[in-house]
Chain A
Amino acid sequence: MKLRAVAAAFRLGVRAPLRSRLVLALLPLLAAAAVALPLHLHSAGGEGEEGALRMALSWPLGAAFAVLAAATLWAGSAAVAGEIERKRFVSDAVSPAGAFSLWCGRWLGLVAIDAALLASVLAAVFCIARLRAPEAARLPVRVPLERDAAYDREIAALLGGGDAELAAAALADMRSGAYMPVSPGEARAWRFKLPRRLPESVRLDFSCLSAYGMAQGVDGALAVRPPVPGSPDLARHPLSKDGDGTFRIEIPGSAFAGLREADVVFENAEDPETGAGALVSHPDSVRLTVPGGGLAGNLVRAGAVLLAALSLLAALGLACGCAFSPPVAAFVATGLALAVVASGSGAWTDGDPGHDHGAKAPPSAAEVALGRVSSGAAAALRGIVAPVRDADALGRVGDGVAVSPRAAVRAVAECGVLFPLLLGLAAACTLSRREFP
C-alpha cells in the first residue's frame, strides 16, 4: 500500500461529499433528528426526568444514525462506481497507485466525514439532554457488573436434572435471553463478580413476567447473599404480585466488604397448587450496577461503536461500487445491509425446516441443505456485526447504562477496521481485474 496515494485519495474522499453538497443536504436531516425530534416527543421515553432523558438520548441518536447509515451506504456505493461510469477513474487506473490504496483512501475519507457529522450530533444530543433533564443528565451512568459464566453452567446442569442434552438446551436458552419458567416453590440464582473497589452503593434491578407473559409481579423474595452456601443474606426483600414485576433497591457497598462475588436469588413463594409461575430472562431480569462515569464519556463510547458501524457500511458501499454500476451497487449494498439486520431477528431461524410450524411431511434433502446454507449465512452475517450488536450502544445510552469500554474497543477493532479492510482487499481484487473501455 502506498501511503502518499492513500493520502491523496483520502483528500479526494473528503472533498467529494463536501463539495458535491451531500454534507449540506444531510445537515438539515441531522438537525431534524438531533434537535427537532426531541422537541416533538413528549411521552415516548417514560415518566419523569429519567423518561425525558431516555427520550432525549435514544430517539435523536437512533434517527441520526439511521440517516447517516443510509447516506454513508449510498455515498460509498456511488463514489467509485460513479467515477468508473463517468470515466474519471481511467486516469487513476493508469497511475502506479494500487487499487487497494485508492480504495483505502476513499474509505478513510468517508469515515472522516461520518466522524465529524456524528460528533456534531453527539454534541447536540448532549446539550439537549442537559436542557430537557438537567438533574438526570448529571447523574453517573450505571456500569453493569459481570455475571459469572461458569455459574450459569452449574445452574443449567441443575435445570437439566443430570441430562446433558437438557442442560445444554437450558444453557442455550439462558444465553439467548429466552424467558424461562420459575415455578411456585422454585428459585433461580445469578452470580455476579464484584469490583475490587466497592462503590458507595450497588443497585439491584429485577424484572419478571407472569406465567401468562404479562408484566406482573409474583409473591416471593429477592435475596442477595455471599456465594458460600449457608451464609446469611446480605439483603432480602419481599416481592408482591400486586406490583408490575419490576423491583429496584440500592444496597450499601459496605455490605459486600471482603467479597469478590455475590449471588442474587429469586424465590417464587406462590402456592404450588394455586399460585402463578414466573418467567425470567437470564441476561435481562437481574442486573447489578454500580455508578461509573458521566453522560459525556458514555456518549463518546457509544459514538465510537456507531462510527465503527458506519465504517463497515462505508466499506460495504465502496466494495459494491467497485464491482457494479451505481444503481446496482446501491441496490446490492442496501440488500446486504438489510440481510445483516434481518440475521439478528427471530424471523430468520436456524433454517431447520423442522421449525416450520404446521409442516406435516418430513423435510426433503434439498430443504435440509437449503436450511443449512441459510443458517450458515445468517450465522456469518450475525458474526460480522456481533461486536456492534453486543455493545448495544443505542440501547445502553438510552437506559443510562455504560457502554462497555471493552465492547467499544472490540467493535472499533473488528467492525470498524478489520472487516472493512477485508472488504477492501476483495474490492481491490475486483477493481484490478476490471476493464475500462
Chain B
Amino acid sequence: MDSETDTAPRGGAALEAENLHKTFRDFWGRARTEAVRGVSLRAGSGEVLGILGPNGSGKSTTIKMALGLLKPTSGSVRLFGLPPSDARAKARVGYLPELSHLHPFLTPRETLLYAAGLFGMPRRTAGARAADLLKRVGLDGAAADRRVGEFSKGMARRVGLARALLNDPELVVLDEPTSGLDPVGRREVKDLVKALGGEGRTVLLSSHLLSEVQDVCTRVAVLVRGRIRAEGALPGLLETPGEGVRFDVSGLAPEKVGEARAALFALGASSVEESPRTIPLEDFFLSLLRAPEDAAQ
C-alpha cells in the first residue's frame, strides 16, 4: 500500500495496553462512571484477540482508548510501539466501529475513495482497491453506486467492513462486526477474520456473541464491569479438568456402539453419553441456502 506515513519501526506487539483506567466526568468535572478499571491487554502478530463482555462492561471504551478516540484517565496504550495519536500508527490500523455511521449521500465506492484519500492512497490504486474490496464484501455491481442512505443495516455494515480493510492494515479492530448481518454475512465475516489472522495480521474483535468469538478467536479477554475477569488462549480457557474427556468417534458400525459403551464402563467411566453426530445449526442453514430448491424438499 502506498501510504504517506508508512515509516514506523516494524516488529513488537501490535497493541500494548497497560493498566488502563477511564472515568467519565460530567460538565463540572465530577466523576460519574468508571467504565474501565485497570485493563491490561497485549495482542501480537497473527493473533485474533476477542474481547467479550456483557453490555456496559467497557469493551468499546477499551477499544476507543486503544485507538486514541478516548484519552485514558490513567494507564498507557501503544500501537506498534507508538502513541495512538501518531499518524504512523494510525496508517497501520483498520477500524470498524460498533455502528457504521456513514455519509448517507455517498455511494460505497465514493465512501471508500474518500477513506483512501485520508490514507494518502493515489487515486488509481484506491480505485482498484475499492473495487476489489466491494467485491469481497458482496457489494459490487449496482449496489456500489447506490447511496449508502438507501442501504439496510447489514449492507451498511459491509461498507464499513470494506472501509476497515482499505488500507491493508496490520491491526484490524472490529467492534461487533456481525451486528446486523444475516447468517450468510456472519459466516463470511468469520471466514474473513480467520483469513486475516492466517495472513499474520492482528485482529482485535469485540463482541457479546459468544459463539462468534469461540469460532474465530485464538485468545479471549472477558471484561465484566470494567475489569478483566479472565484472559487466555481459548482451548485452555474452556477446559474443565477433572470433569471427563470427550471422544469424537467416526467409522464405528452402529451394532458396535453397545460394545464400546460397555468397554468404557469396564474401564471405570461413571457415565457415558452418546448422541448422533450433528452439524451446527449455522452450517445446516447455510447448506439449505446453497442447495437447489427442489433438493431441500
A–B pairs, 23, beta carbons within 8 Å: A4-B4, A4-B120, A8-B117, A9-B118, A12-B103, A15-B106, A16-B103, A19-B106, A19-B147, A20-B105, A87-B97, A87-B101, A91-B97, A92-B118, A94-B67, A94-B90, A94-B95, A95-B119, A432-B85, A435-B69, A436-B69, A437-B61, A437-B70
Q: A8-B114, A8-B117, A437-B64 are in contact. Are A93 and B3 (CB under 8 A)?
A: no
**Nearest B residue (CB) for A93:** B69
Instruction: Find the residue from A20, A93, A94, A96 having the highest chain B CB count within 10 A.
Output: A96
| B214 part of interface (Cβ distance < 8 Å) | no
A11 within 8 A of B: yes
Report the minimum CB–CB distance from A437 to chain B (whole Å): 6
With both chains docked as a complex, state the minimum distance between the C-beta of B165 and any C-beta of chain A, in angstroms.
13
Given contacts A88-B101, A88-B103, contact A96 B69 (CB under 8 A): no
Assign chain B's interface to a size class.
Answer: 35 or more
In which size bucket is the chain A interface? 20 to 34
Instruction: Digitize B69-99: 1 where CB-to-A-CB distance is under 8 Å, 0 elsewhere.
Output: 1110000000000000101101101010101
How does the 8 Å CB contact mask read for A141-172 relative to B, with 1 for contact and 0 for none? 00000000000000000000000000000000
Residues in A neighbouring B117, C-beta threshold 8 A: 4-5, 7-9, 11, 97
Q: A19-B106, A91-B97, A96-B91 are in contact. List 16 more A-B contacts (CB 8 A).
A: A5-B117, A8-B115, A8-B116, A8-B117, A8-B118, A9-B118, A20-B105, A88-B101, A94-B67, A94-B68, A94-B95, A96-B88, A97-B120, A435-B70, A436-B70, A437-B64
Residue A86 is within 8 A (CB to CB) of chain B in the complex: yes
Contacts of A12 in B (CB 8 A): 103, 106, 114
Distance in angstroms from B127 CB to nearest chain A CB is 13
**B118 contacts which of A16, A95, A436 (Cβ < 8 Å)?**
A95
Q: Mark B40-75, 1 if CB is under 8 A from A, else 0.
A: 000000000000000000000100100111110000
Judging by beta carbons under 8 Å apart, are B105 and A16 in contact? yes
Inter-subunit contact A11/B69 (CB<8 Å): no
- Residue contact A94 to B93, C-beta cutoff 8 Å: yes
In this assembly, does B285 line the interface, its C-beta being within 8 Å of a C-beta of chain A? Answer: no
Q: Roughly how many angstroms separate A426 CA and B64 CA in the complex, as a whole number?
A: 24
The verdict on B24 contacting chain A, using a C-beta distance below 8 Å, is yes
The answer, yes or no, to whether B287 is at the interface (CB within 8 Å) is: no
Given contacts A2-B120, A5-B120, A435-B70, contact A87 B88 (CB under 8 A): no
Taking the complex as formed, is B234 at the interface, i.e. its CB lies under 8 A from any CB of chain A? no
Enumerate chain A residues within 8 angstroms of B103, measured Cβ to Cβ: 12, 16, 88
Q: A88-B101, A94-B95 are in contact. Are A435 and B71 (CB under 8 A)?
A: yes
Most buried by A among B93, B114, B117: B117
Q: Is A98's CB within 8 Å of the partner chain B?
A: yes
CA distance A94 to B68 in the complex (A): 7
Asked if A97 and B101 sit within 8 Å, CB to CB, the answer is: no
Tell me the smallest distance from the CB of B197 to a CB of chain A, in Å.
21
Q: Do the beta carbons of A98 and B87 come within 8 Å of each other? A: yes
Chain B proximity of A91: nearest CB distance (Å): 7
Whose C-beta in chain A lies nearest to the C-beta of B99?
A87
Report the minimum CB–CB distance from B147 to chain A (whole Å): 8
Decide if B69 touches A90 in the complex (CB within 8 Å). yes
B residues in contact with A93, CB < 8 Å: 68-69
Closest chain B CB from A25 CB (angstroms): 15
B157: A residues at CB distance < 8 A = none
Q: Is the CB of B118 within 8 A of A5?
A: yes
Q: Could you tell me if A91 and B115 are in contact, using CB atoms closer than 8 angstroms?
A: yes
Q: Which residue of B lies closest to A20 (CB)?
A: B105
* A251-293 Cβ-contact flags toward B at 8 Å (1 or 0): 0000000000000000000000000000000000000000000
B163 at the interface (CB under 8 A from A): yes
B105 close to A15 (CB less than 8 A): yes
Cα A97 to Cα B87 with chains together (Å): 7
Which residue of chain A lies nearest to B117 when distances are taken between CB atoms in the complex? A8
Cα of A301 to Cα of B234 in the assembled complex, Å = 71
Interface residues of A in 402-437 (CB under 8 A from B): 432, 435-437
